[in-house]
Amino acid sequence: MSLAPAGAVAATRPDARSIGVMVVDDSAVVRGLVSRWVDEDPAMNIVGKFANGKLAVDGIRTCDPDVVVLDIEMPVMDGMTALPKLLEEKPGVQVIMASTLTRRNAEISLKALSLGAVDYIPKPEGNSGVTTSSSFRSDLLERIKVLGRSSALRSSVRAPRTAEVGVSQGQVETAVRPTLRRFSNVKPRILAIGSSTGGPKALARLFADIAPAIGSVPVLVTQHMPATFTAILAEHLGKESGRVSKEAEDGEVLRPGTIYVAPGDYHMAIAKGDGNVVLKVYDGPDVNFCKPAVDPMFDSVSEIFGAATLAIVLTGMGHDGAAGAVRIANAGGSVIAQDEATSVVWGMPGATTSAGACAAVLPIGEIGGKTVRILQGVTS
C-alpha cells in the first residue's frame, strides 16, 4: 500500500499480532527508508507516516500504533510539542525519540524521556548517513521490536510481580517466585548500578530517593548511552541527588558521596592503585554488544569490595549485568533488580533475576527506600 508523503493510514494490519509502527519525520527519505525496513520484517508493519507532529497527533487514533518513531526537529509542530499530545491521544504508546547527536538534541531527548518517551536513538547526520548506516537500521528495528512486544505484554492482564523475602502487605506474589539470596550482613562500601532502556527515568527516581544516604559510598553508574548523552545524564543525576556527579575519568580516585557515570563508548571498571581504589576508563571490544557495559563494572567491583558491594540492575534490553551480578552475589554482596511491572523492558533485570543473583526484586518506587536502609546497615 502506498502512503502519501505527508501522512496516511494503513487500514488493516497484515497480521493482527504484528507490531504497528508510526514514523514521524520531516524527511521524506527517512520516512521512506524506515517504512521499508519495518515492512520487510514480518513481525512489524507501518500503520502511518507523517511529516510533522500535528499530522501525527491528528492521525494517531486512526493509525493505532504500538510504537512511534518521533523526530525532534520538524516544521509546524516539533517532536517535543507533539509528544505529550500523542501520549494523551493514545496512552501507553511506546515513543522512541530520534535525533542527530548534538548536545542540544541529547538534552531534548533526555527531557523527552522524563515526559513519557521510552527510548531514544541517535540518527546519523544527513539522509545519506541514514541510508548507509547498517547500525542505525539494526538498532532501530531492535528497539521497535522489543518495545512493541513489551507494550503487548504490559497491556495483557496479569498480577503485579513483586518478589522479596517477606512480601509487604497488599502486594501479590508471582506464581513462580525467583530464588532469592540473603542480603549481605556487611555494610556496603560501594553502590554499583546498571541500566539501559528506560534507565534515565528510573535513575532519576532512584537518585532522588537515595540522595540522603549516599554520602558514605562512591556510586558507579553504567547506562547504555552514546557519548554526549552520558555527560548530560551525569549532570541530571547531580541535580536529582544534590551530589557531585560526573563522567568517570581514568585513574581518578573513588570518593564517597560522588556519582561516577561511565562515559559513552568506553567501559568503566575499578582497580587498586597506590593504596586507593581508582577508576579504569578504557576502550575495548563491546561486551554483550554494549559499550559501556555493566558486566565489566560489576566484575571489578565484586573483586575489590566483595561482600561490601550493593548492586542494582534497572530496566533495560538484553542481559548485560546478569553475569556480573552473579559474581557479586557469589562474593557475598547484595543485588537488587527492578521488577517487571515497573520496567520499560524486563531484559537486564529479568536475566539477573533468572540467574539467581538477587536478594530482592522490587518496583522502582521501593528500590530507593530499600537501598537507603541497606546503606544504613539495616537489611531486615
The catalytic site residues sit at: 196, 224, 320
**In the chain, which ranges are E strands?**
7-9, 19-24, 44-50, 67-71, 94-100, 119-123, 163-164, 190-195, 219-223, 244-247, 258-261, 267-273, 276-282, 309-313, 334-338, 360-362
Residues 289, 291, 295, 299, CA torsion sign: positive
Query: Whole-angstrom Cα distance, residue 92 to residue 258?
Result: 35
DSSP state of 43: T
What is the four-CA torsion angle of 230, 231, 234, 239, rounded to 10 degrees? Answer: -130
d(CA 78, CA 72): 6
Distance CA 360, CA 339 (A): 9
Residues 6+ apart with CB under 8 A from 47: 9, 10, 13, 20, 21, 22, 63, 64, 65
* 96 HSE (CA, 13 A, CB side): 25
Q: How many helices (H) and strands (E) does the chain have?
A: 12, 16
Beta-carbon contacts of residue 79 (< 8 Å; ≥ 6 apart): 24, 53, 70, 71, 72, 73, 97, 99, 108, 112
CA distance 278 to 139: 33
Phi, psi of 323 (to 5 degrees): -65, -40
Distance of alpha carbon 331 from alpha carbon 341, whole angstroms: 29
Q: Is 123 helix (H, G, I), strand (E, B) or coil?
A: strand
Can you read off the three cell numbers belonging to residue 12?
A: 488493516
